[in-house]
Chains A and B, each alone.
Chain A
């Protein structure tokens, strides 16, 4: 457990580890009756044949995942899914010295890590802003610090780093004269929306990774559909990363709530009859 509500695990999946690239995700099922849960790939070790995933305990299904102990197995693991980040297409020389700003919110820190690592290893200049409610909920601090040039921490309660939102930190950096060739924001949909609004007039290209609802994750159901640049796109196969300035965030936020009533019911544990 990284925090009382966030757990990290290495999953043995040699084929996925061999094929995974930054920006991709996988889908797991924790038990035969279980949902298919999309999770971002936090790290991959090709020689050990493992992928690292991070899960936040938010509902009935994530509780099942977090309850797994070392040596346990998922019922199913499939991936890597989605398209890799665009920068993996660039030659290493083009990445050297290129300035990246990552904005990671909460669990979004996990998918930012392999991207920052990939770029850092190829000589890009990487700054990372990490936001969390409170210092106790920060994850992967040491790991992230080792793959970037500057790590800026923001907490809502001021318990560590900048007291306030990640968007305020972005403004402070830009006001201080920092310039970036590319920004990437990954976190809660609402955070990505406000990072997009903050950077809209900066002239810095911004990519967001959309954590939509999904079933199969292979383009079969359209549950993950979002509007980008006025066109309907499937986040699972055409994304999950898109040009932030073209994303209809209000629609994406609304579509995320589709099954909220059912989810709350599933999370409600009946206490009638206990003691």
Chain B
């Protein structure tokens, strides 16, 4: 019987130091820490954590292997359900999924499932990875559009089933949001993302970058000319939203997507990169999600003084709790119940301030969150020479507008059923392209379900 011990804390870079570098914030567990933390798991007979994992990882089973020091076996358990464990261990919102439902969390702290997953994935990568297990080739070709989480998950499952899978990626690097969206200090590219994608390639999946499906090739070309028997569209939600307030086209106003793409995909934070990035003295980031935290913490590391402006309160912040905690530790200022109404410019058309209005919380809205209401006459200005809009994204219309018979709803999301089947036979979709912006793990879950549905469709 395990002793009653608290959750093993994870070692992190000192906030003052990391606020000036792009190295990973969290160091993760070492073997001793992982063994100790794994010993806390009760190995429940009806594990609620598994039900709350969007890809259904056999959590108590992998933790039992960790407990026994059988790290390779632990990795093999995870690999049955997830192709990106080193990524998910770092970026999943565990507090609302597996850890949020852990029985230990009722009275104390839940098992650090995310940190254990990360430990196992990192250990496995450093020790040769999980041996590839796949069915013999069945000679059927499937195209996957987009190399983000949903596309990688779908492609992995199909490759394991024996399909000949090609992923088409529009950017010059594979990974989608893992490359362009999530910063290096939270998800290292060379050390974590690229090896994880290489493990998908090791299953036999081909990845062609620099192909714009919708322009270079259409979905119809893939089916009619390139010999694919089914297509999975996992093109994500890449279209940034703006508020529609005056001054958004001033110089110094950026979408979080632009700011983060410059820093992450183009590595503008590295002096060796040719891509420029604007470094303001005082940056205001508008929004309260993970993307807002990422943009704010990137700006801070580039040398700016950063304020996050959010129209509701701390409680409603949609970002992962860990990101908010890290952002605060690093010295980012939060202004809650504050909503921008206008961006003010100087005589040359550059940003000089963000005009905001004070908000108060009213009745709960359709989503159950209390909706913010402006307090009349409470306008005030926050001085800023850079404003970053992190208000969410919508699916890119490039594929839906160039594919005959592919239905979308009014927000531009592709209409698909639970299995990913769209209005067009042979065309499946999943992830943010269907749901609008969500999480890495939900997209992976959708990719896996679509892979099963594609397999069923092609066996008919």
Contact = CB atoms under 8 A, between A and B. Distances in A.
B251 A215 contact: no
Contacts of A225: 249
Interface in B179-217: 180, 209-212, 215-217
B261 interface: yes
B374 interface: no
6 contacts: A79-B212, A79-B216, A218-B212, A223-B258, A232-B249, A263-B276
A102 B261 CA distance: 36
Contacts of B349: 251, 254
Nearest to A220: B238
Given A79-B216, A81-B215, A222 B276 contact: no
Contacts of B217: 15, 19
Contacts of A35: 266, 274-276
A16 B278 CA distance: 32
A77 B242 contact: no
A80 B215 contact: yes
Contacts of A254: 251, 348-349
B262 interface: yes
Nearest to A21: B215
Interface in A214-229: 215-216, 218-223, 225-227
B126 to A, nearest CB: 26
Given A78-B172, A220-B257, 13 more contacts: A36-B266, A78-B216, A215-B262, A215-B266, A218-B170, A219-B238, A221-B255, A222-B255, A223-B255, A225-B249, A227-B249, A232-B242, A263-B276
Interface string B207-240: 0011110011100000000000000000000111
A232 B273 contact: no
A94 interface: no
B376 interface: no
Contacts of A266: 274, 276
Contact of A215 (B216, B258, B274): B258
A95 B249 CA distance: 37
Interface string A241-275: 00000000001001101110011001000000000
B171 interface: yes
A227 B244 CA distance: 12
Contacts of A36: 172, 266, 275
Most chain B CB neighbours (cut-off 10 Å) among A35, A216, A232? A216
Most buried by A among B215, B252, B348: B215
B451 to A, nearest CB: 25
Main secondary structure of the interface of B (DSSP, over half): loop
Contacts of B180: 216, 220
Interface string A32-58: 011110000000000000000000000
Interface in B84-102: none
Contact of A79 (B171, B215, B273, B397): B215
Given A78-B172, A237-B398, A218 B238 contact: yes
B80 to A, nearest CB: 33
Interface of A: 15-16, 19, 24, 29, 31, 33-36, 60-61, 75-81, 215-216, 218-223, 225-227, 232, 237, 251, 254-255, 257-259, 262-263, 266
A232 B247 CA distance: 11
Nearest to B216: A15
Contacts of B278: 258-259, 262
A266 B276 CA distance: 9
Contacts of A216: 170-171, 180, 261, 265
Contacts of A219: 238-239, 396-398
B135 interface: no
B106 interface: no
A19 B257 contact: no
Nearest to A37: B274
B323 interface: no
A33 B249 contact: no
Q: State which size class the interface on B falls in.
A: 35 or more
Nearest to B275: A35
A201 to B, nearest CB: 27
A258 B251 contact: yes
A47 B210 CA distance: 21
Interface in B392-409: 396-398
State the 10 A-B residue pairs at the shortest beta-carbon distance, nearest first.
Answer: A221-B258, A262-B276, A78-B210, A220-B238, A76-B172, A259-B276, A222-B255, A254-B349, A35-B274, A35-B275
B2 interface: no
Contacts of B238: 218-220
Contacts of B210: 76-78
B432 interface: no
A263 B217 CA distance: 34
Contacts of B164: none
A232 B249 CA distance: 8
A229 to B, nearest CB: 14
A254 B170 CA distance: 29
Interface string B247-274: 0110110110110011001110000111
A251 B170 CA distance: 29
A26 B349 CA distance: 30
Contacts of A226: 249
A220 B261 CA distance: 9
Contacts of B273: 33
B276 A15 contact: no
Given A215-B266, A221-B258, A222-B242, A34 B216 contact: no
Contacts of B257: 220-222
Given A15-B217, A36-B266, A75-B172, A60 B211 contact: no
B234 to A, nearest CB: 15
B272 A218 contact: no
A33 B276 CA distance: 12
A227 B249 CA distance: 8
Residue from the set B212, B255, B273, B348 with the largest chain A CB neighbour count within 10 Å: B212
Interface in B372-419: 396-398
Nearest to B173: A76
A221 B277 CA distance: 13
B276 A80 contact: no
Interface string B264-304: 01110000111111100000000000000000000000000
